[in-house]
Structure 1
Amino acid sequence: MGIDLQRGAVAEVIVDFPPVNALPAAGWHALADAIGAAGADEQTRVVVLAAEGRGFCAGVDIKEMQRTPGHEALLAANRGCAAAFGAVYDCPVPVIAAVQGFCLGGGVGLVGNADLVIAADDATFGLPEVDRGALGAATHLARLVPHQLMRTMVYTCRPVTARELHRFGTVLEVVPAAGLRRAAHRVAEEIAAKDPLVIRRAKESLNGIDPIDVKRSYRFEQGFTFELNLNGAGDRARQRFVEGR
């Protein structure tokens, strides 16, 4: 259980936090460290980011926040998410997200910063942040869906399917769940066969021409989460979630 890094030309970083891959604050930092270590290895040509279980990621561990006095867990989770999302974006080699089941909240932050997305046919993507009294990862959702759909998803917390994202071109392939990891590795091996120095410079150049600074944009969003927490709205929403209301 936790974060597993399997090194190689195609490195694999695997998330495993049963039952729903809701990551505690330490888990986000561990994920950032694993992706950073994979990218720093000169033998790595591509990173596949995958998860065990029925869903890719359910976001942050809200129960951890509610059982921890004060703001320590909230602050740690916010910094951990920023670190993990940043690690995906800054990884010097392409990162392929292999997504099954639900991809929610922080999961969207990871996938939105990935270079390529392969999804299982049961995958759904959503930001339930408004229902949780928080804001964030709209920065990354905007890289997956058109602008007004992004706004609709934020306001309503409605998810979209992998097939919808495939129509937008932001999911490369939709495959049966049993073949998800194999499909991600097939694309990874195609990239890994290229000149590794050229691919690393390609990643750097593509980040350099991005129209939005995703790290600054996400931290701006997080400021409103702090505001909601200070005025009590965030805590009330999280408590409703924990109590199943």
Structure 2
Amino acid sequence: MAVSSARPGPGIAVVTVDYPPVNALPVQGWFDLAEAVRAAGRAPEVRCVVLAATGRGFNAGVDLKEIRGTAGHAALLGANRGCAAAFSAVYDCEVPVVAAVHGHCLGGGVGLVGSADAVVAAEDATFGVPELDRGALGAATHLARLVPQHLMRTLYYTARTVTARELHRHGSVWQVVPRAELPAAARGLAREIAAKDGLLLRLAKAALNGIEPVDVRRSYRYEQGFTFEATLDGVADRLRAGFGGRPSSPAGEGR
């Protein structure tokens, strides 16, 4: 289980998440991911970062087993901070970030993708924020960057998922390809971006972040406060306990 980095070509860094079986990340995993993305973006020779994953799906969110198995609120607070760190690392990365998504992309996965600059997806990719079924709140900030407002609310309230093809129609997914072609497609887009001047790319990233109408960091942290409120009320623990008996979903989805 790890987060790794590679340099497959000039100007490109690939950060890969590998937490089998479903890429539900523990607290430390989120912080490790944040550091790997920040380090890649700081490297002067890197002009584009690809964020990818191995295994059954791109990301299943927070490891709820860790939260349920840890006394007190330390794991929940750690997950909140770790997710915020990882999402901010992607959003604030000094160079553009291309998310390469396959399989399930849930909760925290949507947080990562919604923080990225571009998305390339496999035909089997599905996106959703099942927080209301997991006793949590969050990532609506990032889902709202992928779909229109009313669709975001409907998806959030129902905990339904949407396909890569649907997001492509909304313009938030750049390209949908067969799963076997995903790495090449994501790196192809990264190469096109990395062919630009490195300084101008960094200036462009800062400029585009600066004109965002919503402060995604503050918006997400605001959402997280309601997750903690749900935990103190007890409803979060009741829903998480029920989730533990449903093995058909990616085990461990959370934030």
* Shorter-normalised TM range: over 0.9
TM-superposed CA distance for 1:194, in Å, is 0.7
Counterpart residue number, 1:231? 233
For 2:201, what is the secondary structure of its paired residue? helix
- 1:141-188 CA-to-partner distances (Å, cap 9, x unmatched) read 000001000000110000000000000110000000000010000010
For 2:176, what is the secondary structure of its paired residue? strand
> RMSD across aligned C-alpha pairs, in angstroms?
0.9
Report the residue type matching 2:88 in the other structure. G
Higher-RCO chain (CA-CA 8 Å, sequence separation at least 6):
2
Cα distance in structure 1, aligned partners of 2:138 and 2:22: 20
- 1:200-234 CA-to-partner distances (Å, cap 9, x unmatched) read 10000000000000000000000000000000011
For 2:105, what is the secondary structure of its paired residue? strand
Specify every segment of 5 or more residues in structure 2 that has no aligned partner in the other structure, as ranges: 248-255
TM-superposed CA distance for 1:244, in Å, is 2.5
Q: Give the number of aligned pairs.
A: 245
Cα distance in structure 1, aligned partners of 2:2 and 2:159: 28
Counterpart residue number, 1:3? 3
Give structure 1 regions of 4+ aligned residues with deviation exceeding 4 angstroms.
Answer: none
Aligned 1:1-245 pairs, distance under 5 A: 1-7=1-7, 9-244=11-246
Cα distance in structure 1, aligned partners of 2:56 and 2:168: 21
Report the residue type matching 1:139 in the other structure. T
For 1:22, what is the secondary structure of its paired residue? coil
Report the residue type matching 2:57 in the other structure. G
TM-superposed CA distance for 1:243, in Å, is 2.6
TM-superposed CA distance for 1:198, in Å, is 0.6
- 1:96-149 CA-to-partner distances (Å, cap 9, x unmatched) read 000000000000000001000000000000001000011000000000001000
Q: What TM-score, normalized by structure 1, do the two folds share?
A: 0.99
- Taking every aligned residue pair, what percent have the same amino acid on both sides? 66
Report the residue type matching 2:197 in the other structure. D
For 1:60, what is the secondary structure of its paired residue? coil
